Amino acid sequence: MKKLTLYFALLMLIGLMTVRCTNLDEEVYTQIPMDTYGTTEAEINSLIAPIYTRLRDFNCVGSPAPKENCTDMSVTPTRRGGDWWDGGAYKEMTQGKWRPQTSAAIRIYNDSYSRITNFNQIIYLINNSQAISDKEPYLCQVRAARAMRYIELIDCYGNVPLVTDFTDLSKPVTKSRAEVYNWVLSELNDIKDKIRSDVTASSYGKFTKGAVYFMLAKMYLNAEVWNPAGGPKWQECIDACNVIMSLPYKLETNWKDQFSANNENSKEAILVAVNSITSSFPARGYTLHYLDPIALGLPGSANNGICAMPDYVKSFDPDDKRYLGSFLIGPMINPSTGQVIITAHGRPLIHTVDVTIKYAVDADGWGQVEQEDGARCNKWEYKKGATAMENDCAIYRLADVYLMKAECLVRLGQDNEEATRLVNELRKRAFDDPAKLKTSVTLNDIYLERRFELAWENWGRQDMIRFGTFLNAIPGWRPNPLPEYRLLFPIPQTAIDANPNLQQNPGY
């Protein structure tokens, strides 16, 4: 094998390694010979660490939620005084007017290819290392992380470049959505039974068999949208769900436990973004009002951004524990005075369900809302006294698997009793009254249950497209249905300017 000497500086620049100085007298090297690096587990883990730190890109309620802000589930309104106008980016997302220059619409594309480049290099390094004797376990993890990014791309952008060779410096061409879809399927099927299968403390936060089969389930669930020529894959989705359900995952008895500040022991989580005080979960900063931390016993402030769409909140049964478990609603009390906090505009800080445009209304009907308007995210615990949120974010969890299987059973016209049982397993922990359980389920029941169970978890856009509701008007926010081309986001104009081989999605 050819001996490779690779520049350590390059690794640092693209975020592939974290270097610690433990001895200031040590000689510092600018190059690493790959025939010696990777002889210890610690060295190998440092090499693949970026695939896990980058999972924080999938933290919910982050940046702020481009896949949710184009739905009828959440909105980032312009606040009285002009906060969150941001050049109209969030207005464009809500009104269905995003462009190839709209930052919120193109962020996923840019982030995905940045990470794919990183992951391709890690694969290259592992493949060319003379020191790593058993490469398969590490390659499987990196390939799974890369496949996850391509799933995001085919979901959001459709026809995209397929880049897998780190050494290929040519400008990539656009591939069809079907071609990329089939490549991802091939990747996942190749690694699904090679990757580690344990559900243990050591596999927590790692790509495992459960995570790979979860991705396969999503691929099959959305096959009619992502690869219509291949036809529906409902049975294949059920089969993938059954594999996951045969593994030692377990629904939490108390629904809220899996969102607690110390939720790292949840057996419901299949793949998580592991957060910490220094690399924290972003929900608090993006959703809470500037003064909410006073009422919640938190140091610091917040940014008063994203909130829930009113009609979405009103669709919840008030007896559903997921209602107030997902949304922060009502008066915010200063514990020092026992009084409602007053905003900078002299208004009581009472989070209303309704979000009403009142000020600086433009010709499109967009304007500013009161600072306190809107139900805020309350799904993940805000731990009193904590300077930041350490809650881990379950990107994939078992409840979703139950709902995927139930949906496919109903779509196939098979075993409604089993589909109903699966849905009721989730409703049992959501309601105290057994009368709230279903006696049978329809596709609409499952659609709604997904919206109740998975609030704020970034599945809204994908689900709405699959169920045929994404293009609908949103009363008060989007007066007219969207044209079909809006099912995909545009390729960023900056990417097309840099690479003339790329093709813009139709309609943009």
Spell out the SS3 assignment of 180-221: HHHHHHHHHHHHCCCCCCCCCCCCCCCCCHHHHHHHHHHHHH
Using a pLDDT cut of 70, give the percent of the chain over it.
Answer: 92
Grade residue 133 by pLDDT with cuts at 50, 70 and 90: confident
Cα separation, 219 vs 209, whole angstroms: 15
pLDDT at 398 over 70: yes
Cα separation, 264 vs 171, whole angstroms: 42
pLDDT at 55 over 90: yes
Cα separation, 153 vs 181, whole angstroms: 10
pLDDT at 323 over 80: yes
- The one-character DSSP state at 59 is -
What number is the average pLDDT over the span 127-134?
A: 89
What number is the average pLDDT over the span 205-209?
A: 98
Is the C-alpha dihedral spanning 180, 148, 452, 374 positive or negative?
A: negative
- The one-character DSSP state at 66 is T
- The reported pLDDT for the residue numbered 17 is 34
Cα separation, 425 vs 401, whole angstroms: 12
Total Cβ atoms within 10 A of residue 434: 9
Residue 92 lies inside a defined structural domain of this protein: no
What is the residue-wise DSSP string for 135-189? -HHHHHHHHHHHHHHHHHHHHHTSSEE----TT--SPPPEE-HHHHHHHHHHHHH
Which of 425, 388, 386 lies closest to 405 in space, CA to CA? 425
The contacts of residue 416 (CB under 8 Å, 6+ apart) are 409, 410, 440, 441
Domain count, the chain: 1
- The reported pLDDT for the residue numbered 3 is 34
Residue 395: which H helix or E strand, with range? strand 393-397
SS3 content of the chain, % helix, strand, coil (to 5): 40, 10, 50
Residue 187 lies inside a defined structural domain of this protein: no
Residue 372 lies inside a defined structural domain of this protein: yes
Using a pLDDT cut of 90, give the percent of the chain over it.
Answer: 86
Residue 362 lies inside a defined structural domain of this protein: yes
- Pure H helices in 16-169: 41-48, 50-53, 89-95, 103-127, 136-156
pLDDT at 29 over 70: no
CB 44, CB 333: distance < 8 Å = no
Considering only 52-66, 172-186, 288-302, 453-467, which range has the smallest mean pLDDT? 52-66
Cα separation, 395 vs 327, whole angstroms: 19
The predicted-structure confidence for 374-393, as pLDDT tens digits, reads as follows 999 999 999 999 999 999 99
CA dihedral 386, 354, 321, 247 (to 10 degrees): -70
Grade residue 35 by pLDDT with cuts at 50, 70 and 90: low
- The reported pLDDT for the residue numbered 63 is 65
- The reported pLDDT for the residue numbered 82 is 97
Alpha carbon separation from 401 to 20, 405, 426 (Å, rounded): 40, 6, 11
10 Å CB burial of residue 213 (0-12, 13-18, 19+) is: buried
- Which tokens in the block code for residue 95? 């009104």
Residue 476 lies inside a defined structural domain of this protein: no
pLDDT at 302 over 80: yes
CB 349, CB 289: distance < 8 Å = yes
- The reported pLDDT for the residue numbered 206 is 98
The predicted-structure confidence for 173-199, as pLDDT tens digits, reads as follows 999 999 999 999 999 999 999 999 999
CB 306, CB 76: distance < 8 Å = yes
pLDDT at 85 over 60: yes
The residue segments making up the domain with residue 348 are: 283-391
Grade residue 36 by pLDDT with cuts at 50, 70 and 90: low
Residue 15 lies inside a defined structural domain of this protein: no
Residue 199 lies inside a defined structural domain of this protein: no
- The reported pLDDT for the residue numbered 40 is 77
Cα separation, 55 vs 200, whole angstroms: 19
Residue 57 lies inside a defined structural domain of this protein: no
